[in-house]
Structure 1
Amino acid sequence: MAGVYKLEIAESVEDLKPLLRSQKSASDKERVQLLYLLKSEQAKTVQAAAELLGRHRVTVQEWLRLYRQGGLSSLLSHKRRLGRQHSIPQWAQDALNQRLQQAEGFNSYGEICQWLESQLGIVAPYKTVHQLVQYRLKASPKVARPISAQQSPEQVETYKKNSVRIWQC
């Protein structure tokens, strides 16, 4: 008969019930629930189990293939998803972070881009460097404020004292 699965589930219904309750993730719970439905004969076919779980038949068949190949441990194991690689490698990020911690620092993000290219050989767009430094490294270029040569320290102190009084009013 088409659609009837040919799989011997080693665990008993009594073993699957506590295993089902102990699962932390929804994905693992669904996979154990699949075994439970088939073992307890609440679902007689793969299609019926897929409908009860709200999954596509091919997904359920893939789960059963994993169980057939490696048992319960294979069914509940997940591949680590890496995502896209960073355009600036970790070793370069570490070197940049050390350089940002130094007293002289950088004057701008453009200067950081030039430093990356000249010292480390990494060409990175301005936007990438800005996001790396600002959001991931939680740093910023150290730009000194310009001070007028005509400015006297006494006038600065007088201004600070008077401006405090204004804000306290």
Structure 2
Amino acid sequence: METVFSRQIQEDVADLKSREKEPFAKGIADRIRFLRLLKEGHAERLADVAALLGYHLRTVQRWWQTYRAGGLAALLPGPPHRGASERITPEAWTGLRAEMEAGHIGSLHDAQVYLRDHWSIDYGIDAISKLFRRRKTKLKTGRPHHRKAASPAVQAAFKK
């Protein structure tokens, strides 16, 4: 049965079925299923499709408006990333890593001071900790030595 919706949807049913089975997130597969149900004529109104898929009518209306405005390409991507971007630049990160590898930075406070003084980037200690966790970076330092046993002569004598 041909409906108003089925005439306005450019993609054919076979293409929509194959795209529906691709490994997408659940919401994107539902958007493709929404188009397929309209194209096949399983529903004559958007409210019927909303009931079949378990979404609110307003959500399905927004999907239809998005499809009509930009086609399938506009309907497929999920919501944009809304998180804040990192303040550290690639150059600052490279410089920080070089300082850490050289042994000049041994604590989060040292990293904070370096970024503030050399790159004018202000991070709190907790933010630097999270930055290192996101980038899978650990402050590697040598084992601490006792101040009296730090001389090579004392160490050599102890080993004998």
Instruction: Name whichever of 31-40 and 82-91 sits farther off.
Output: 82-91
Q: Distance in 1 between matches of 2:133 and 2:18?
A: 47
Residue identity (%): 25
Q: Distance in 2 between matches of 1:13 and 1:152?
A: 82
Q: Distance in 1 between matches of 2:156 and 2:147?
A: 14
Per the alignment, residue 44 of structure 2 pairs with 44
Q: Which one has the largest radius of gyration?
A: 1
Root-mean-square deviation over aligned CA pairs: 2.8
List aligned pairs for 1:149-160, cutoff 5 A. Answer: 152-158=154-160
Q: How does the TM-score come out when normalised to structure 2?
A: 0.75
What 5-or-longer segments of structure 2 have no aligned partner?
none
Q: How does the TM-score come out when normalised to structure 1?
A: 0.72
* Secondary structure class of the residue paired with 1:152: helix
What is the deviation of 1:43? 1.6
Matched, 1:138 2:137: yes
Per the alignment, residue 72 of structure 1 pairs with 72
Q: Is the 8 A contact 2:20 2:33 kept in 1?
A: yes
Per the alignment, residue 55 of structure 2 pairs with 55
Matched, 1:128 2:127: yes
Per the alignment, residue 112 of structure 2 pairs with 113
Deviations 1:87-116 (A, max 9, x none): 4344322221121111x3224322222222
Runs of 4+ with deviation above 4 angstroms: none
Residues matched between the structures, number: 152
Distance 1:153 1:127, change over 3 A: same
Q: Distance in 1 between matches of 2:158 and 2:46?
A: 81
Q: Is the 8 A contact 2:63 2:75 kept in 1?
A: yes
